[in-house]
Amino acid sequence: MTAPPRILGSTPVRGPEPSAIRPGPARLLVLLAAFVCAACGLVYELELVALGGRLFGDPVTQTSVVLSVMVFAMGMGSLLAKRFARRPATSFAVVESALALVGGLSGLVLYACWAWLGQCRAVTVGLAGLIGVLIGAEIPLLMTLIQRVRRQDPGRAVADLFAADYVGALVGGLAFPFLLLPVFGQAAGALLAGGVNAVAGGVVVLWLFRDEPARRTRLLLWAGCGLVLTTLAAAAACTGVIERAARHALYGAQVRFAGQSSHQEIVLVGDRPRAGTAPGMRLYLDGRLAVCGADEQRLHDALVRPAAAGPHRRVLVLDGGDGLAVREVLRQPGVRRAVVVEPDPDLTALARTDPGLTALNHRSLDDPRVRVAASDALSWLRGAAAGPRFDVVLLDGPGAAGGAPYPEELYGLAARLLAPGGRLAVRVGPLGAERRFWAVEATVRSAGLRTAPYDAPVGGGCGGPADQGYVLAARQRPALPPGVTPLAPRRPTPAPGTLLRPLG
């Protein structure tokens, strides 16, 4: 039996009613499909943001590019969906099968492209655009289907559909960092989302609206959905091989450890240590070189020694889970207590057990004078505002050395924890990034501290810049110890029409 015409915008839509299920349960199933598809769509989006940020080393730019392109493409997809509104169930099944395939494989494609082809920003933009077009086509087609099940006021139908879509996006956004990423990893998590997407979007709709397509078309749609699921399953079976090959292409053949914690990907590269040293060992966190055994002793000595030139009985190390900065701290005479704040307990466990890292950090995290707090730096500082003061505060994590900048609030809270005469030291990173260096120095000053910027040659043994920039700060202008090269205060010249201000 043919249903009366339905109106979506100005386009008349005519189609069959579901024949084997009542309107109430049928409508609920359509909303459930919208919920699941929205969750999977957000997983694909977060996959491109997270993996691209790791590979390109610029998470702010990567997030902006992916979100902008995807939102624009969603608008284009909504416009294109009007052409297929006459057969919404068939069109929706095709869209969801394509989205499950592209989104599910996006992680492996991006990872492989970066490993074997080098730069792949164009591939990232292309994937974001294609996924956005397919996601944008969902809502108009689902709106047509839900009106076909039972005609209702358009405002109510839109409200119900968008509620299911937004709640699904919330579930997908929470599932990605707390379930898919730590349990399955990025590539396998996206493949799992693709399989769920194919079942929810294809199977449910094809079963619910099975009277719309002709028998031959229906068989082709079922075969296509089965082919997508088979492809995703085969890719899942090969994920380990592909990831290992990509890691070898990225990091070399001596990958000793690779794992995904709830915070980051941890990759350890190098030979087993000999004679208590590990000069060839490298530690990568989310693709960023965090530790280079050939340079790290000079790098951490340059961070700790100027700060410890004054009082240093109590020392706080923020984001020092590798144990290298606190190793230098414990070498200073008179240290009574050291607190290491590290958000990733998996990194701390690796630093305590891996032969290469223990050879470098001298098992400093197990020293009875050291206490390790599993927390991010900002949260710990907020909770410690009324606690004891520290003579030295060291910042040695991703907010230093080329990662995302620490916020101004963190420097302000750290300054409040300084004891009288206490010092704060920040490892900013390569001096070649001059604009970043002086922006960080200005942010430290904005917390009410006087600064003494300096540099230190660290050798460049892992192919990085030989000179690293540091900022020493205190309530009174700190004096640098002998042998440390000060940097004259200077500011990069802004381009015409721009305003240079500290990073917050």
Q: What is the DSSP letter of 274?
A: B
Q: How far apart are CA 350 and CA 345, in angstroms?
A: 9
Q: How many CB atoms lie within 10 A of CB 250?
A: 17
Question: CA torsion angle for 107, 108, 114, 120 (degrees, to 10)?
Answer: -60
Q: How far apart are CA 41 and CA 103, in angstroms?
A: 8
Residue from 58, 396, 455, 467 carrying the catalytic annotation: 396
Q: How far apart are CA 126 and CA 124, in angstroms?
A: 5
* HSE (side-chain half, CA atoms, 13 Å) at 205: 35
Q: How far apart are CA 445 and CA 473, in angstroms?
A: 8
Cα 33 to Cα 85, 146, 170, 205, distances in angstroms: 18, 11, 15, 8
- What is the bridge-based pairing of β-strands 288-292 and 282-285? antiparallel
Does 211 participate in catalysis according to the annotation? no
Cα 497 to Cα 93, 434, 435, 493, 503, distances in angstroms: 51, 20, 16, 11, 18
Q: Is the distance from CB of 486 to CB of 452 less than 8 angstroms? A: yes
The angle, 0 to 180 degrees and rounded to 10, between the axes of the packed helices 23-56 and 154-175 is: 40
Q: Is the distance from CB of 309 to CB of 332 less than 8 angstroms? A: no
Which stretches within 150-285 are classed as H helix? 154-175, 186-198, 204-208, 215-251
Q: How far apart are CA 129 and CA 298, in angstroms?
A: 45
Q: Is the distance from CB of 286 to CB of 279 less than 8 angstroms? A: no
- Residues whose CB is less than 8 angstroms from the CB of residue 167 and which lie 6 or more positions away in sequence, other chains included: 35, 38
Q: How far apart are CA 41 and CA 102, in angstroms?
A: 11
Q: Is the distance from CB of 262 to CB of 374 less than 8 angstroms? A: no
Catalytic residues: 396
